Amino acid sequence: MLKFKIFLPVIVILLLSVLSVHALNDNKVLIAGYIKDTHNKPIKEVEVKVYVEEKLVGEVVTSSDGGYTLEFFLPSPPEKVKLEVWRHCYEKKEIIIEEFAKKDNEYYARVDLELKNVITPAFYLAAFILLGIYILIALEVLHRTLAALLGAALMLFISYTIGTYDERYFIISFEDAMHAIDMNVIFLLMGMMIIVAIMKKTGVFQWLAYKSYAMAKGRVYRLAVILMFVTGITSAFLDNVTTMLLLTPVTIEICLVLGISPLALLIPEVLASNLGGTATLIGDPPNIMIGSYANLTFNDFVINLTPVVLISMVVQAIMMKFYYGREYKKARVENVDEVLERLKEEYKITDRKLLSQSLAILGFVIILFTIHGRLNMEPSIAALIGASLLLLISKESVVHMLEEVEWSTLVFFMGLFIIVGGAEETGLIKMIADGVKTLSGGDLVKAIALIMWVSAFMSAFVDNIPFTATMLPIVSYLTSVIPGAESNVLWWALSIGACFGGNGTLVGASANIVTAGLAEKAGYPVTFMDFLKIGMITMIVTTAIGMVWLILVY
């Protein structure tokens, strides 16, 4: 026993030497490459297996960039090595590798593959859930947040129940679902919501409405134009819904004093809010989503969209003159000074110190927005640092301000991102993108028109947020394959269509519904047809202006 213990290290060394010599005499084989889909995007987590004489000699999964590397040893030079690749929702491929590059006892082969999506039960389930969520939101059967949450939960539940036993039913993994949630969008919205919540306490929005009346000096059409531009400019930097929530009450009061229907000022205001929100990255949720997905900066939106928004607002102001001209002429304009004094007393700045702090921080945030591209900084960081600093210096209750955040909206976005992620995983989005490309025939002008008008009419009847989320990967693909689209013109077409389209009907934008609710509460209900008559005309005219602008400029 003692002798065995003494010789054990020697035996181990001899065995290792034999194995080393054997390994040196073996032939090293290295196979590497990238696996992409039909849209030239990398596919991660593809199972790659290599067989020699039907014997499995190595396996690996692709990384996030679609790359893989397989290394193994053979006693003789490799012949007819079989490579097998597969991922759920994609075709299974087998490749026979017969040619290798050789150096000494090392053999190399590069194998790049393209995998096509295959239609599985998961494809139909994803399509059914996506369409079902659209219907539930459009018909207001469920609150949009609950609808999105239900859809996301269903995709994950099916994947980890039925999909566990039959991979044809696997829609999306939990890890991919988390990756699908764009936290840049979530944090940007949250930061801006906190800043707006604090600014509301200063009374600045109502003061702006009073100042608009003072500038108009009793001239009602001038007042309408001023209010439209005040609303549009404010909506370019703050949430449309918040802007209308704060301006609507004072607008109604001014109209009652003038003896005209509040709708003659409220509807032009809300139409202007949807136009103005198109001008900047932070003006409307679709823009936030587009900017984050396509890596477009605040300045990109301002440079490319502000001119067409201003032109559209001027045209809208002229249209309102013709549509509401008779109503404006009914106004009683006596005692203007008396009304001004009352409005001055009722709608004044309530906290000048807080307003100064808010404007300083808002200015700082906007400066960060304009330079975030140079800093390689996500815009959400600017919004979060601004919200944090404003909470710090204003000494407002953090708990109370967080209660002002529209958490239901943020949860809606999260659920929606997961649903679209599932549709993308199963190949549904790719199929739609290929269909759009076929319809456009690869022509840039046709693609601009198709994306813009489909976006406008879809956004007029369904929430533009889920529609935009669905279109993001589609427009990304078209931008990469249509000549001339590298100028990002298709992103601007999507933005204009989705945002301008909100003016088409009463349900086209959340700001429309909120304004109608406040007007009805004051005794001036807005019917679907009332809004449609002016909203649809405005949408068609301004969208046509946007299309002509993009075609001429790009």
Q: What's the pLDDT score for residue 6? A: 54
Record the tokens describing residue 243, joined without a space. Answer: 């802007």
Cβ atoms 132, 462 nearer than 8 A = no
Query: pLDDT tens digit string along 375-431?
Result: 889 999 999 999 999 999 998 889 988 888 888 888 988 998 999 899 989 988 888
Residue 513 is encoded by which pair of tokens?
């519904």
3-state SS, residue 16? helix
Domain containing 152 equals: 121-180
Q: What is the largest CA-CA distance in the chain?
A: 119
Q: What is the pLDDT of residue 137?
A: 78
What CATH number is attached to the domain comprising 64?
Answer: 2.60.130.10
Say whether both 127 and 79 belong to one domain. no
My answer on whether 77 and 159 are in the same domain is no
Co-location of 68 and 91 in the same domain: yes
Query: How much is the pLDDT for 17?
Result: 47
* Statement to judge: residues 104 and 131 lie in one domain: no
Residue 95 sits in the same domain as residue 126: no
- Domain for residue 385, yes or no? no
Say if CB 228 and CB 268 are below 8 A apart: yes
Which pair of tokens denotes residue 497?
């269509």
What does the alpha-carbon distance between residue 394 and residue 39 come to, in Å, rounded to a whole number? Answer: 50
Do 97 and 150 have their domain in common?
no
Same domain? For 129 and 164 the reply is yes
Nearest to 196 by CA among 406, 369, 407, 371: 406
In a domain, 65, yes or no: yes
One domain for residues 47 and 72: yes
Looking at the chain, how many residues does it have?
Answer: 554
Contact predicate 415/407, CB 8 Å:
no
The answer to whether 143 touches 407, Cβ cutoff 8 Å, is: no
33 and 76 fall within a common domain: yes
pLDDT digits (tens, 9 = 90+) for 529-542: 889 999 999 999 99
- Give the DSSP letter of residue 111: -
Q: Is residue 93 domain-shared with residue 109, that is, in the same domain?
A: yes
Instruction: Tell me whether residue 106 is in a domain.
Output: yes
Q: Which long-range contacts (CB under 8 A, 24 or more apart) does 53-62 make?
A: 54/82, 62/34, 62/35
- Decide which of 180, 199, 215 is a domain's last residue: 180
With respect to residue 506, please indicate whether it lies within any of the assigned structural domains: no
Q: Are residues 111 and 129 in the same domain?
A: no
> Per the domain annotation, does 67 fall within a domain?
yes
Secondary structure in 3-state letters for 217-246: CCCHHHHHHHHHHHHHHHHHHCCHHHHHHH
Contact between 220 and 260 (Cβ < 8 Å)? yes
Residue 296 near residue 491 (C-beta atoms within 8 A): yes
Contacts with 137 (C-beta within 8 Å, 6 or more apart), sequence order: 144, 147, 148, 462, 463, 466
Instruction: Give domain status of residue 168, yes or no.
Output: yes
Looking at the structure of the chain, the number of domains it has is 2
Distance from C-alpha of 201 to C-alpha of 446, rounded to nearest angstrom: 48
The C-alpha atoms of residue 302 and residue 358 are separated, in whole angstroms, by 22
**Average pLDDT over the chain, rounded to whole?**
87
Euclidean distance between CA atoms 190 and 367, whole angstroms: 19
In a domain, 226, yes or no: no
Q: Element (H or E) spanning 366, and its range?
A: helix 352-371
Q: Residues with Cβ < 8 Å from 328, sequence gap 6 or more?
A: 220, 221, 224, 260, 264, 321
pLDDT in tens, the chain (554 residues): 545 455 455 454 544 444 444 444 478 899 999 999 988 889 999 999 999 888 899 999 999 999 999 998 888 888 888 999 999 889 899 989 988 898 888 889 999 999 998 999 999 999 999 999 888 877 778 888 899 999 999 999 999 999 999 989 999 999 999 999 989 989 988 998 899 889 888 888 788 877 887 888 778 899 999 999 999 999 998 878 778 877 888 888 888 878 889 999 999 999 999 999 999 998 888 999 999 999 999 999 999 999 999 999 999 999 999 999 999 888 876 666 777 777 777 778 888 999 999 999 999 999 998 898 888 899 999 999 999 999 999 988 899 888 888 888 889 889 989 998 999 899 888 888 888 888 888 899 999 999 999 999 988 887 788 888 889 999 999 999 999 999 999 999 999 999 999 999 887 887 887 788 888 888 888 888 889 999 999 999 999 999 999 999 88
Domain-terminating residue out of 67, 96, 115: 115
Same domain, 107 and 138: no
In a domain, 88, yes or no: yes
Final residue before a domain boundary, out of 87, 115, 143: 115
Q: Measure the CA–CA gap between 199 and 333, rounded to whole angstroms.
A: 32
